[in-house]
Structure 1
């Protein structure tokens, strides 16, 4: 059961500078930067982030995420470190994947929803230090 790669996600401190560098140096085309506000699951301050998606010439999607405030998934697990934070896979049935991974003992560490998709993040010591995000796109 191989899943389709959706994107590689990076935590960055300055989304404007980083996306400009990837555009100028490697030709990555970026969508406009969007601001997302998600409620904190523990009742703390809202999680606020800036997010954009870019595509390489061969269609590989890259996501850049800058934490503005609150304990986003990136901030919670990686502090202020920049770099690869997660690998995202597209799934057809998010609820079924959540149940399957729970049986396997994988820890769910965050979840959310946006106009484009619903998702959750998992963390497991076997995953080499990155989080994995499972995403169900709307209309898939």
Structure 2
């Protein structure tokens, strides 16, 4: 049976892949992954993700969505979601509300792994030796940039 698979990503050209968008996926990689997904003989619904509202509208337009293959690290129109440690988890939470299962990591592991401070706290709690560390909160820096 053919399934509708949402393929969501944050695509940029090699030239744009710097600064706030250095975590985004090059166009060539998106095209190669899309080609591989198409070879599964399912219906691939491609979305370059900019906002939560865009994702909601896309899902509503393409119901039913059976599975999501998510490479989006956040929302391109909200660049701090790439670096706050929560962007990828935000996308998955949004999909969970629509009862769409996701391939790859779940919400809890995404939140822990993208948030280095939380990762280190949990590792120490389990008596895993880790070096002393400092977490620089880039979220504040991005908010200041918006105000300027």
Same fold by TM-score greater than 0.5? no
> Under a length normalisation based on structure 1, what TM-score does the superposition of the two structures give?
0.28
> Under a length normalisation based on structure 2, what TM-score does the superposition of the two structures give?
0.27
Greater strand content: 1
Q: Give 1 or 2 for the bigger CA radius of gyration.
A: 2
Greater helix content: 2
